[in-house]
């Protein structure tokens, strides 16, 4: 039992709950472990703010009291998935609202009612009954419900008090319980007054059932629900950090057999054993509180989620989504993107970075200057930024150079885009080059394709390149025809452009143009890939997700966006770039897209690519082709393994691919590296699009519209 003092109302309530549970346990021990209660929500458990007075004993806690509920567990789980009370507390805190997290993590002292929460005898009885059910081993145990049509799990999971056919009470019932604030429930899993029930989610998967579980008892309704918990890879009680090493970063790439020569994903998205209930639930979801669908969308069937991630500049709302023609597929794609973002924001592998100056590491480290810096005036006026200092120690992580087949150090800030510290605040990176796949080879390939896509888009935009439009009537796949028809129903014409520069791999920019010239006038997207038809489909699919909402977004922010048009330095965030071009008056900056150099059939546009395109059954050949194209152009190709322990369980691999010298995508007009980089001046010449280097005066001085 903890000895921390009762300094807050939550501490006092914890003491009352501990006393009551201990008394009941002494009367009815029944082979149960002794209850160990700690408060949750009155102190920071992530290590940013005031020290947690319960830190020494929280890992062993099996009861955690919040202001609205009691959490029991973790309990259950296999030998390869063990979690502790600290794991639960860290997952729980990350799901709190922005105001709650800021209060906890910025060192504020908690305030609250004198006696809260109120613990009535029947509330304690309900907690004790749930405690006995989940931590005991008696006749209360029951089979775990399975998905419709599947065999039930015969593992003994408890049926919670009061649960029945119409009353949720097991982990599978998470689909019927609180799924988060945007489904009419708050972040602690309770329904907000006057809101409709959420749509049912699929039953917990076998991957969920193999995990530790957490049972929540609502102190208002006494309703119970159980949720699976993924062990926390940064838990200080469960994980002993070790130094990052060059040897551990070395990648030995091997054969990666493809389902067919023209298929570039080794497995289908739905073949990965995703613990969907553990990824998104309102108590301990690894990626967020829920997955939201948008039944009102008339172009795609989107699904999305989000969670707050603390970075150098504070809390960032990191969103993840999937866009397909079926909600089930979109939900799977959203989970996969969420896992990619989860791996990319922070290093979650229990390793400590190398901390030293570039001056000392120059022989074995990437020069940050090769990835570009902002303009000097940005560093002079932006309080969150400082110029790079080669003599200042900064954190580095080990990566692998595919060009040199050797380890190389890269700045941690470039490898994990929310991992900045005061010492390395020379750039704000985003998810450029981060990708997930079923093998390291697949993840690296798709990370590189994203870099190529964004590089080409920026070269075309800032370089005012005249592009060839693709005659989409010659793309005969049903998917393209369907997307064009759906866009037309919204009053949009959709165009696609060959955006390749000096690299041969197909890159396609899609542009949706509102026919009547009203708000939401232009919407852009892009894609890159080895299959030209699939690349066109990918670009069109993305642009179609934006057009139903863009007119409304522009109308809501019209005065703000018009101020940005008058002063581009007011363009600060990702959404500003895309929404700015929803203003009809901004079309003047997109003249090269509205007046293409030519319009050609799809097959003719990419006829020069087909003889070059690898057509083997090994994805490694595709990766080597792209690597060789990039290194042949004078660039290094670097991969940082971002794979988290959670992803290893699911058969996933995530990397951050870096190609120093390609144009990086940035957001915020004052934080643009691309226009200042050497490639911005030379690539159009090497691509044969102009006879000389691009003069400074001809670089387009308008924010890019990339979404």
Q: Does any domain span residue 195?
A: no
Distance CA 380, CA 569 (A): 14
> What is the per-residue pLDDT for 163?
42
pTM for the predicted model, two decimal places: 0.90
> What is the per-residue pLDDT for 230?
98
The dihedral built from the CA positions of residue 542, 545, 547 and 549, taken in this order, carries a sign that is negative
Q: Which of 133, 660, 140 is nearest to 409 (CA)?
A: 660
Q: Does any domain span residue 107?
A: yes
One domain for residues 221 and 360: no
Distance CA 206, CA 211 (A): 9
Q: What is the pLDDT of residues 426-452, one digit of tens each?
A: 999 999 999 999 999 999 999 999 999
Confidence at 49, pLDDT banded by 50, 70, 90: confident
Confidence at 7, pLDDT banded by 50, 70, 90: confident
Percent of the residues in the chain that have a pLDDT greater than 90, as a whole number: 81
- Token pair in block for residue 335: 């989970």
296 against 386, higher pLDDT: 386
> What is the per-residue pLDDT for 178?
34
Confidence at 537, pLDDT banded by 50, 70, 90: very high
The dihedral built from the CA positions of residue 682, 686, 687 and 688, taken in this order, carries a sign that is positive
Confidence at 195, pLDDT banded by 50, 70, 90: very low
Least confident span in 166-170, 528-532, 613-617:
166-170
Distance CA 225, CA 219 (A): 12
Q: What is the pLDDT of residues 454-485, one digit of tens each?
A: 999 999 999 999 999 999 999 989 999 999 99
Q: What is the pLDDT of residues 53-104, one digit of tens each?
A: 999 999 999 999 999 999 999 999 988 899 999 999 999 999 999 999 999 9
Q: Does any domain span residue 152?
A: no
> What is the per-residue pLDDT for 191?
38
Task: Give yes or no for residue 240 having a pLDDT over 70.
Answer: yes
- Token pair in block for residue 131: 């405690």
> What is the per-residue pLDDT for 9?
85
* One-letter-per-residue 3-state SS of 642-705: CCCHHHHHHCCEEEEEECECECCCCCCHHHCCHHHCHHHHHHHHHCCCCCCCCCHHHCCCCCCC
Distance CA 527, CA 506 (A): 8
Among 225, 254, 270, the domain-final residue is: 225
Which long-range contacts link 133-140 to residues 24+ away (Cβ below 8 Å)? Answer: 133/158, 133/159, 133/160, 133/161, 133/215, 134/72, 134/73, 134/75, 134/76, 134/158, 134/160, 134/213, 134/215, 134/226, 135/32, 135/33, 135/62, 135/72, 135/75, 136/30, 136/31, 136/32, 137/31, 138/30
- The β-bridge relationship of strands 292-293 and 303-311 is antiparallel
**Residues in a beta bridge with 497:** 469, 509
Q: Does any domain span residue 130?
A: yes
Peptide bond into 552 cis (omega under 30): no
Distance CA 516, CA 494 (A): 14
Task: Give yes or no for residue 155 having a pLDDT over 60.
Answer: no
> What is the per-residue pLDDT for 2?
45
> What is the per-residue pLDDT for 113?
67
**pLDDT mean over 496-512:** 98
Distance CA 204, CA 227 (A): 9
Q: Does any domain span residue 32?
A: yes
* One-letter-per-residue 3-state SS of 367-425: CHHHHCCCCHHHHHHCCCCCCCCCCCCEEEEEEEECCCCEEEEEEHHHHCCCCCCHHHC
Least confident span in 4-18, 89-103, 130-144:
130-144
Q: Does any domain span residue 518?
A: no
Distance CA 486, CA 546 (A): 12
One domain for residues 74 and 216: yes
One domain for residues 216 and 361: no
> What is the per-residue pLDDT for 367?
97
**pLDDT mean over 345-357:** 94
Q: Which domain holds residue 626?
A: 356-413+421-461+619-698
CATH of the domain at 690: 3.30.1330
User: How many residues are there in the chain?
Assistant: 707
Q: CB-based burial of residue 423 (10 Å sphere; 0-12 exposed, 13-18 middle, 19+ buried)?
A: middle
Among 158, 193, 225, the domain-final residue is: 225
Q: Does any domain span residue 118?
A: yes
The dihedral built from the CA positions of residue 248, 409, 401 and 610, taken in this order, carries a sign that is positive
Q: Assign 322 to helix, strand or coil.
A: strand
Task: Give yes or no for residue 633 having a pLDDT over 80.
Answer: yes
Among 225, 251, 278, the domain-final residue is: 225
Close Cβ partners of 35 (under 8 Å, ≥ 6 residues apart):
18, 21, 22, 25, 62, 63, 131
Task: Give yes or no for residue 149 having a pLDDT over 70.
Answer: no
- Token pair in block for residue 170: 């097991």
Structural contact between residues 271 and 326, judged by C-beta atoms closer than 8 angstroms: no
For the chain, give percent helix, strand, coil, nearest 5: 35, 20, 45
First to last CA, the chain: 52
Look at the chain and report how many structural domains it folds into: 2
> What is the per-residue pLDDT for 606?
98
Close Cβ partners of 576 (under 8 Å, ≥ 6 residues apart):
561, 564, 570, 667, 668, 703
Q: Does any domain span residue 542?
A: no
- The β-bridge relationship of strands 638-641 and 468-471 is unpaired
Structural contact between residues 87 and 235, judged by C-beta atoms closer than 8 angstroms: yes
- The β-bridge relationship of strands 242-243 and 351-352 is parallel
203 against 579, higher pLDDT: 579
Q: Which residues of 370-380 are buried (b: 16+ CB within 10 A; e: fewer)?
A: ebbbbeeebee
Confidence at 201, pLDDT banded by 50, 70, 90: very low
**Residues in a beta bridge with 316:** 309
> What is the per-residue pLDDT for 137?
62
Peptide bond into 127 cis (omega under 30): no
Q: Assign 506 to helix, strand or coil.
A: coil
Least confident span in 136-145, 237-246, 359-368:
136-145
Q: Where are the beta strands (DSSP E) in 499-584?
A: 507-514, 522-528
Structural contact between residues 394 and 387, judged by C-beta atoms closer than 8 angstroms: no
> What is the per-residue pLDDT for 562?
98
The CA radius of gyration of the chain, in Å to the nearest whole number, is 27
Structural contact between residues 315 and 98, judged by C-beta atoms closer than 8 angstroms: yes
Close Cβ partners of 7 (under 8 Å, ≥ 6 residues apart):
53
Least confident span in 28-32, 215-219, 413-417, 583-587:
28-32
> What is the per-residue pLDDT for 35?
98
Q: Which helix (H) or strand (E) holds 591?
A: helix 591-594
- Token pair in block for residue 664: 């990086």
**Residues in a beta bridge with 336:** none
Average pLDDT, the chain: 90
């Amino acid at each position: 039992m903890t000895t921390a003092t009762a300094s807050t109302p939550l501490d006092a309530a914890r003491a009352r709950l501990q006393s009551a549970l201990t008394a009941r346990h002494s009367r009815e021990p029944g082979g149960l472990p002794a209850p160990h209660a700690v408060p949750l929500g009155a102190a920071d458990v992530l290590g940013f703010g005031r020290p947690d007075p319960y830190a020494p004993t929280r890992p062993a806690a099996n009861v955690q009291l919040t202001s609205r509920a009691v959490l029991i567990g973790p309990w259950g789980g296999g030998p390869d998935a063990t979690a502790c009370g600290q794991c639960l507390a860290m997952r729980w805190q990350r799901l709190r609202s922005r105001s709650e997290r800021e209060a906890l993590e910025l060192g504020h002292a908690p305030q609250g009612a004198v006696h809260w929460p109120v613990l009535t005898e029947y509330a304690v009885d309900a907690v004790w009954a749930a405690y006995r059910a989940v931590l005991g081993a008696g006749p209360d145990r029951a089979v775990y419900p399975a998905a419709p049509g599947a065999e039930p799990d015969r593992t003994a999971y408890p049926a919670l008090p009061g649960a029945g056919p119409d009353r949720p009470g097991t982990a599978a019932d998470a689909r019927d319980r609180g799924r988060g604030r945007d489904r009419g429930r708050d972040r602690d899993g309770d329904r907000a007054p006057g809101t409709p029930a959420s749509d049912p989610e699929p039953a917990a998967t076998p991957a969920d059932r193999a995990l530790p579980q957490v049972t929540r008892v609502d102190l208002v309704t006494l309703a119970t629900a159980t949720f699976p918990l993924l062990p926390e890879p940064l838990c200080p009680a469960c994980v002993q950090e070790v130094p990052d090493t060059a040897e551990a970063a070395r990648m030995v790439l091997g054969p990666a057999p493809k389902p067919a020569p023209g298929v570039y994903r080794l497995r289908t998205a739905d073949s990965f054993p995703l613990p969907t209930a553990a990824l998104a639930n309102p108590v301990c979801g690894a990626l967020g509180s829920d997955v939201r669908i948008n039944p009102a969308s008339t172009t795609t069937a989107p699904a999305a989620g989000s969670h707050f991630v603390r970075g150098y500049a504070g809390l960032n709302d990191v969103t993840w989504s999937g866009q397909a023609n079926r909600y089930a597929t979109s939900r799977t794609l959203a989970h996969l993107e969420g896992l990619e973002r989860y791996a990319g924001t922070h290093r979650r592998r229990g390793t400590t970075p190398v901390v030293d100056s570039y001056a000392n590491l120059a022989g074995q480290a990437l020069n940050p200057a090769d990835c570009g810096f902002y303009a000097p005036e940005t560093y002079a006026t932006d309080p969150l930024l400082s110029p790079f200092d080669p003599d200042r120690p900064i954190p580095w992580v080990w990566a692998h150079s595919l060009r040199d087949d050797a380890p190389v150090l890269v700045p941690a800030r470039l490898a994990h885009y929310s991992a900045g510290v005061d010492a390395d605040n020379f750039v704000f990176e985003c998810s450029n080059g981060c990708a997930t796949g079923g093998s390291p080879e697949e993840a690296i390939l798709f990370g590189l394709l994203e870099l190529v896509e964004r590089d080409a888009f920026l070269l075309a935009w800032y370089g005012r390149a005249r592009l060839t439009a693709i005659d989409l009537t010659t793309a005969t796949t049903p998917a393209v025809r369907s997307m064009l028809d759906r866009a037309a129903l919204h009053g949009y014409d959709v165009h696609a452009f060959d955006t390749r520069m000096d690299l041969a791999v197909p890159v396609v920019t899609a542009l949706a143009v509102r026919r009547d010239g009203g708000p939401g006038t232009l919407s852009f997207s892009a894609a890159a890939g080895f299959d030209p038809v699939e690349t066109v489909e990918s670009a069109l699919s993305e642009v179609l997700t934006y057009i139903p909402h863009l007119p409304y977004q522009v109308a809501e922010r019209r005065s703000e966006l018009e101020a940005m048009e008058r002063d581009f330095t007011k363009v600060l965030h990702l959404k500003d770039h895309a929404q700015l071009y929803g203003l009809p008056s901004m079309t003047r900056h997109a003249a090269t897209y509205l007046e293409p150099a030519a319009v050609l059939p799809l097959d003719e546009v990419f006829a020069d690519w087909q003889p070059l395109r690898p057509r083997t059954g090994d994805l490694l050949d595709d990766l080597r082709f792209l690597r060789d194209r990039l290194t042949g152009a004078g660039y290094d190709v670097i991969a940082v393994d971002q794979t988290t322990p959670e992803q290893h369980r699911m058969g996933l691999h995530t990397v951050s691919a870096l190609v120093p010298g390609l144009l990086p995508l940035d957001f915020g007009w004052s934080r643009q590296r691309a226009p200042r980089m050497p490639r911005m001046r030379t690539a159009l010449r090497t691509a044969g699009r102009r006879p000389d280097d691009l003069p400074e005066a001809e670089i387009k001085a308008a924010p890019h519209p990339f979404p």
